[in-house]
Amino acid sequence: MTLLENRPSTDALADAPTSHPGLLSWVRDVARLTSPDRVQWVSGSTAEKKALEDELVEAGTLVRLTKQKDSFYCASDPEDVARVEGRTFICSRNERDAGPTNNWAAPDEMKATMTELYRDCMRGRTMFVIPFVMGHLDADQPMYGVEITDSPYVVLSMLIMARVNSDVLAKMSRTNADFVKCLHSVGAPLEPGEQDVVWPCNPTKYISHFPEDRTVWSFGSGYGGNALLGKKCYALRIASAIAHDEGWLAEHMLILKLTNPEGESKFIAAAFPSACGKTNLAMIEPTIPGWKAEMLGDDIAWMRFGDDGQLYAVNPEFGMFGVAPGTGWSTNPNAMRAIEAGGNIFTNVALTDDGDVWWEGMTDETPEHLTDWRGNDWTPDSGRPAAHPNSRFCTPIENVPVVAPEWDNPNGVPISAIMFGGRRKTTMPLVTETLDWAHGVFMGATLSSETTAAATGQVGVVRRDPMAMLPFIGYDAGDYFAHWLALGERDGAVLPKIYYVNWFRRDENNKFIWPGFGENSRVLKWIVDRIDGKADAVETAIGRIPAPGSLDVAGLDFSDDELAKCLAVDPAEWDAELDDIADWFARIGDTLPSELADQRDALRGRLGLE
């Protein structure tokens, strides 16, 4: 195997392709602590990628798919399948700064605990050093990171998810740039001669963030959000703390370009909680004639003010880590086309007998025989899903056939509208236009959704998920709301309008009322037309909803009654909602901005609930 023939030196610094002093000393310290057999600097080259793939196929971690180009299947340990929010910590110096929505531990104590876990934890393994940039290398402010990991699966996934290439390290070194230190270990050292398992991990898991140090320490898990540290850990938790300090926003949002039949384009960003439809909406195929949608990002948006006062959004990522189940030719054909273009890593999906992958919802017909995500024989009457509900495809963004040309703009695109939304059976209308920025921030701060399989824990329970950021705000939630409100007060700001959507309202038979997916383009059209002053709305207590006839349902088998149910504002439901919002605000505590309490009182008043 080429990798072994070219085995890099055990001295972390001997053949380091950089002279960045801070990087070199950090790499040396980590190597001394973790005692890997060897250190490999990841350059992003094709040969390096190929060698890692071959090694992982040989080891049985990856299965090369015969039916797809350059694509691999991987099954994790059954206990390592999702983000572990209970094991995720914000280790700010003051407990107050982590806020009531995060687990907190004192940074010194957490570092002491984890240092002992990291000691010799890479024995028998290769320590990889991955320099990357989130967003564009030519951005006004390139956002560097370096992940150290002992997982070659993480390396291959990072090559898809982040910009990793030799230019990144060269520019970072030349400018002696700051970078976010991301340390990851699966926590499974190997004794001499010990046979490795297919998915090494450790029952003890920590996903720790040190926002003041711009540092992430992750231990024990190999799964996506816990291990690909550029994504949730850096681009959301650490970046949200940086954004708070610097006056911008790091958000759990897709970015979409919409072009109307007149050829005018607008960019919108949308925040929905995990497994609530961002990747689907980002790649939407509009069902209404003349409208075009193109994707810029499907999970994370960084938004900074431009000189013209508008918010400009960039997608800091380079790939997608999408929920597989429910992604199919009928629901998200552009995702299926992106996957077809090759270069994928699939995790915890099912394998077909002829060397392809399958998951629930991919095709209308279910294969007669599969190997399920746990490696067992599976048939349609097995009585359990073949793919894990949080199984994922990891795919380069450039594969997406509808990727907007602007997706790679170093400094992003101007945002005309922000959408918030969640998964609610009741209460929330299909679409609501908020009254102004502060009201929009209130709607975002009280965003609620039924929990999904994207995180461990009970599924289907309504919880508040402010701006879809509950698991990702890297500091105090009250301070985060104050930051959002403050941006609205900024001199010269040309703010996007804020909307709230809910594709998931159910009827009395528990069926989704709104057809969703491509038909969501009808809601997007209403939003864009509202911004252009071309669509009518009616005022309700909670905001503006489409006036009769202004939501385009032409060609849809949809009765007035169904539409009314989708848009209903039911005072009894809102009475209960407001009680729940009161509990939520009480949980935020002292740092809750008084403007948000005022918004709640004003809403009570409009609903006539005083």
- Residues assigned a catalytic role: 276
Nearer to Mn ion, 189 or 322 (CB): 322
Interaction of residue 503 with ligand GTP, rule CB under 6 A = yes
Binds 277: which of Mn ion, ligand GTP, none (CB < 5-8 Å by kind): ligand GTP
Interaction of residue 512 with ligand GTP, rule CB under 6 A = yes
Interaction of residue 454 with ligand GTP, rule CB under 6 A = yes
Of 71-79, 199-207, 267-275, 560-568, the segment contacting ligand GTP by CB under 6 A is 267-275
Give the one residue of 278, 424, 565, 600 binding ligand GTP; rule: CB under 6 A: 278
Interaction of residue 274 with ligand GTP, rule CB under 6 A = yes
Give rounded-to-5 percent helix, strand, coil for the chain: 30, 25, 45
490 contacts 256 by C-beta, under 8 angstroms: no
Binds 318: which of Mn ion, ligand GTP, none (CB < 5-8 Å by kind): none
Q: What are phi and psi of 327, to 5 degrees?
A: -90, 115
Positive or negative, the Cα torsion across 175, 180, 183, 184?
negative
Binds 512: which of Mn ion, ligand GTP, none (CB < 5-8 Å by kind): ligand GTP
Of 9-17, 177-185, 271-279, 398-406, the segment contacting ligand GTP by CB under 6 A is 271-279
Rounded to a whole number of angstroms, the minimum distance from the CB of residue 559 to ligand GTP is 18
d(CA 22, CA 144): 13
- Token pair of 153, please? 């699966």
Rounded to a whole number of angstroms, the minimum distance from the CB of residue 391 to ligand GTP is 11
d(CA 390, CA 435): 36
Q: How far is CA 557 from CA 163, 554, 561, in A?
A: 44, 8, 12
Rounded to a whole number of angstroms, the minimum distance from the CB of residue 411 to Mn ion is 23
Strand ordering across the sheet containing 103-104: 38-41, 126-134, 143-149, 180-185, 215-219, 206-210, 88-90, 103-104
| 518 annotated ligand binder | yes
The number of CA neighbours under 13 Å toward the Cβ of 394 is 25
Of 361, 356, 337, 354, which is closest to residue 346 (Cα–Cα)?
356
| 369 annotated ligand binder | no
Interaction of residue 36 with ligand GTP, rule CB under 6 A = no
**Local structure of 139: helix, strand or coil:** coil
d(CA 432, CA 525): 13
Of 252, 296, 298, 285, which is closest to residue 471 (Cα–Cα)?
252
Binding mask 232-271 for Mn ion (x = CB under 5 A): ----------------------------------------
**Local structure of 489: helix, strand or coil:** coil
Using Cβ positions, the residue closest to Mn ion within the complex turns out to be 279
Radius of gyration of the chain (CA): 24
Nearer to ligand GTP, 62 or 82 (CB): 82
Of 17-25, 75-83, 275-283, 384-392, the segment contacting Mn ion by CB under 5 A is 275-283
Residues in the chain: 610
Give the one residue of 149, 331, 371, 448 binding ligand GTP; rule: CB under 6 A: 331
The number of CA neighbours under 13 Å toward the Cβ of 541 is 21
Give the one residue of 168, 235, 275, 404 binding ligand GTP; rule: CB under 6 A: 275
Interaction of residue 327 with Mn ion, rule CB under 5 A = no
Q: Helical H runs in 7-88? A: 21-34, 46-59
Nearer to Mn ion, 274 or 409 (CB): 274
307 contacts 282 by C-beta, under 8 angstroms: no
Nearer to ligand GTP, 36 or 421 (CB): 421
Nearer to ligand GTP, 61 or 101 (CB): 101
Binding positions: 83, 223-225, 232, 252, 274-280, 299, 390-392, 423, 517-520
Binding positions for Mn(2+): 232, 252, 299
Binding site for Mn ion (CB under 5 A): 274, 278-279, 299, 322
Binding site for ligand GTP (CB under 6 A): 272, 274-280, 298-299, 322-323, 325-326, 331, 454, 503-504, 512, 516-517, 520
